[in-house]
Amino acid sequence: MIFPRMHPISRRVLTVACFVLAVTSVLGASALSVAAAYQNRVLPRTYVGGVSLGNKTVGQASSVIDATAQTINQTPLTVTLDTQTAQLSPSDLGIVTDTDQTKTNLGAGHSLWDWGRGSFWRDLFRTKHVALGFSIDETALKTGIEQKLAPTKIATDAAINIGTDGKLAVTPSEDGRSIDLDAAKAEITRYLTDGSNPTIQLNFEPTKPQISTEEANRVKTDIEQTVQPVVMQSDNQKFTFTTTDLYGLIAYAKDGATLKWQLDNAKLTELINARIAKKLNVVMVSKVVQSDNNAVLTEGRDGKTVDTTGLTKTILAALQSKTDTASSPLPITLKTLAFTTKTTNPYYTLNSFTGLYLDVSLTHQKLTIINTDSVIAQYSISSGGWKTPTPTGTLYIFNKISEAYSPDFRLWMPDWNGLATSPDGGGYVGYGIHGLVCWDKACTNREGVNHIGEPVSHGCIRVEDAGIGFIYEQVPTGTPVNIHI
């Protein structure tokens, strides 16, 4: 068989095609071989914290990362600021390393078919610095630096004060400075990425005051043009609030870089009370009438009081309108307080205590049960005779005994309520409130009721039958007892 002769050009094309196919096969096999080699390895030229992890298995790289983090955590950093230098540990700077995040960022281990991606070959031949995973507590960073280097200077606002001459004066503002924390964090990131030069160079960040000297001077001028002496008059008495007085009442408030001012109403009212009302107010005196015979014990008298609320508003309006109060003093209005009439009872006094209490009148031989300002009941008594008087003052019921016995006088005292100077029994000296005494425990021989209303006891307070049962059962221990002449 005779084959046809191939054209020379076709032969060359075929030769080139075979060569390309051969080269492609070799390159593909080589690329596949490289991809297979790095399926469980870190690409070359890969660094974490300045330490090379290239060509290491994933397990080996993980161990190196753990060791690198431990070394970094134990290595102090040199922190410089101006001419100051200090050694601070990563924990002092609020740095917390995260090896798990580092291993995730590393991206070690590749698919067999990654050889077909351009990014695989780019990463294979380039140098890759992977930052050690970390977080920074900004508060701890700031605190750590300030404790060692004390770099912060707080900006000072301008202030308006009253000088020794009584005039307004401005204290100038001052710029401050603070650490540029963003730059500090960038330096830390650089160190944890390349692992070189553990020196953190700090820089200042200027801080401006909220209220400048110029703003304070503007407000001072405004105050001086607005606040003038205020003259007030009531009948023939004149009162003057000087500019110094009024300067002391000014309240300042910041609204961004704007300083605002106003007279404090509460402080102005206090000044009116202290300088004017104290002299012009007249205390109201109540008329006191005795309830049993309508005798007037105290004549009533109207009072007067300065209308401080109205005067406060009048002063503020006068300042706002720049009224000439020197030639036209502001009127001071006085309100009349009509006297009230109070009724008093010679037997007792209401409101001596809040809640339940007993009031004992030795003069009238009466015991009144009172709840704050209301009379619940009143009973006749027999208090101590002239040789054995009942003590006066405030005492308290501290115990109760159904049948108390007195060995000194050999008698029984039913429904006993012991009295002491304190509710817990402190200051007890043997006195109590009880019923008519008995000469035997069965009470077959009993004191006569004709003694009620007469001071014949040994110092205790004997109560008529109608009342002692109520007191013993309904009046609790701890109840105050007011005993008076």
Specify if 283 maps to a domain.
yes
The Cα–Cα gap between 88 and 296 comes to 86
Which CATH number belongs to the domain containing residue 328 in this structure? 3.10.20.800
pLDDT at 231: 98
Specify if 462 maps to a domain.
yes
For residue 359, what pLDDT band results from cuts at 50, 70 and 90?
A: very high
Q: What is the mean pLDDT of residues 99-107?
A: 76
DSSP result, 266-293: HHHHHHHIIIIIHHH-B--B-EEEETTT
Q: In what order do the strands lie in the sheet with 128-130?
A: 51-52, 46-48, 128-130
Choice among 37-41, 59-63, 270-274 with the minimum mean pLDDT? 37-41
Q: What is the mean pLDDT of residues 82-93?
A: 86
Tens digits of residue pLDDT in 6-34: 556 666 666 666 555 555 554 444 444 54
Residue 323 domain boundaries: 215-341
pLDDT at 30: 46
pLDDT of 112 over the 50 cut: no
Measured at the CA of 316, the angle between CA 311 and CA 321, to 5 degrees, comes to: 125
For residue 455, what pLDDT band results from cuts at 50, 70 and 90?
A: very high
Specify if 59 maps to a domain.
yes
Shared-domain flag, residues 317 and 426: no
Q: Report which listed range, 61-75, 92-106, 180-194, 287-301, is most confident.
A: 287-301
Specify if 290 maps to a domain.
yes
pLDDT at 140: 87
Specify if 207 maps to a domain.
no
Tens digits of residue pLDDT in 299-349: 999 999 999 999 999 999 999 999 999 999 999 999 999 999 988 888 998
Shared-domain flag, residues 370 and 325: no
Residue 443: left if φ>0, alpha if ψ -120 to 50, beta else—which one?
A: left
Task: Write the single-letter amino acid at 319.
Answer: L
Shared-domain flag, residues 369 and 479: yes
Shared-domain flag, residues 292 and 367: no
Q: What is the mean pLDDT of residues 125-132?
A: 73
The Cα–Cα gap between 483 and 466 comes to 20
Choice among 138-142, 218-222, 242-246, 300-304 with the minimum mean pLDDT? 138-142
Shared-domain flag, residues 274 and 375: no
pLDDT at 26: 47
The Cα–Cα gap between 141 and 93 comes to 4
Determine the distance from the C-alpha atom of residue 311 to the mean position of all C-alpha atoms in its chain, rounded to a whole number. 35
pLDDT at 417: 98
The Cα–Cα gap between 426 and 420 comes to 6
Shared-domain flag, residues 335 and 228: yes
The residues, ordered by sequence, that sit 6+ positions from 438 with a Cβ below 8 Å of its Cβ are 411, 412, 413, 414, 444, 445, 446, 447
Whole-number Cα distances in Å, 366 to 345, 348, 373, 397: 12, 9, 17, 18
The Cα–Cα gap between 383 and 387 comes to 11
**Percent of the chain residues past pLDDT 90, beyond the cut:** 54
Tens digits of residue pLDDT in 50-83: 787 777 777 787 888 888 888 888 888 888 887 7
Shared-domain flag, residues 243 and 334: yes
β-sheet bridge partners, residue 238 = 233
Shared-domain flag, residues 255 and 360: no
Shared-domain flag, residues 55 and 134: yes
For residue 443, what pLDDT band results from cuts at 50, 70 and 90?
A: very high
Specify if 421 maps to a domain.
yes
Where a domain ends, among 127, 149, 171?
Answer: 149
Q: Report the Cα–Cα distance between both ends of the chain, in Å, rounded.
A: 160
How many domains are there within the chain?
Answer: 3
pLDDT at 190: 84
Per the CB < 8 A criterion, the answer to whether 368 and 375 are in contact is yes
Q: What is the mean pLDDT of residues 252-270?
A: 91
Write down the mean pLDDT value for the chain: 86
Where a domain ends, among 98, 132, 149?
Answer: 149
Specify if 4 maps to a domain.
no
Which CATH number belongs to the domain containing residue 435 in this structure? 2.40.440.10
pLDDT at 17: 60
pLDDT of 93 over the 70 cut: yes
Shared-domain flag, residues 431 and 317: no
For residue 158, what pLDDT band results from cuts at 50, 70 and 90?
A: very high
Specify if 351 maps to a domain.
no
Other beta carbons less than 10 A from residue 62's beta carbon: 18
Shared-domain flag, residues 333 and 380: no
For residue 5, what pLDDT band results from cuts at 50, 70 and 90?
A: low
Shared-domain flag, residues 334 and 361: no
pLDDT of 189 over the 60 cut: yes
Under DSSP, the state recorded for 276 is: I
For residue 113, what pLDDT band results from cuts at 50, 70 and 90?
A: very low
pLDDT at 115: 47
Other beta carbons less than 10 A from residue 91's beta carbon: 12
Residue 42 phi/psi, 5° resolution? -85, 140
The Cα–Cα gap between 128 and 108 comes to 12
More confident residue, 266 or 293: 266
Other beta carbons less than 10 A from residue 151's beta carbon: 17
β-sheet bridge partners, residue 77 = 88
Where a domain ends, among 341, 369, 404?
Answer: 341
The Cα–Cα gap between 155 and 178 comes to 9
